[in-house]
Amino acid sequence: MIMQLSIPQSIIESIRLPENRMEAELLKELALALYTQELLSLGKARELANLNYYQFSQLLGERNIPRHYTETELQEDLDYARHQ
């Protein structure tokens, strides 16, 4: 399923971004908002934002948005590191 959002023309005209950057920036903002509210995982939010892991993590840092990191994820990372 693909979802398309309708944004009124008056809103689009009010956004102070060049037209060629608008879609990418709006996707980043949506991804950050959904991640912040814990509605998307880091991986899915980064996918929505069209950013790699490093780029999305850097964006989180720039916005002072804390990473959601559970004890389970920590254990998985430690297990992975031990077996490398």
Q: What is the pLDDT of residues 6-51, one digit of tens each?
A: 999 999 999 999 999 999 999 999 999 999 999 998 999 999 999 9
Beta carbons of 30 and 36 less than 8 angstroms apart: no
For 48, residues 6+ apart whose C-beta sits below 8 A from its C-beta are: 27, 30, 31, 34, 40
72 pLDDT tier (thresholds 50, 70, 90)? confident
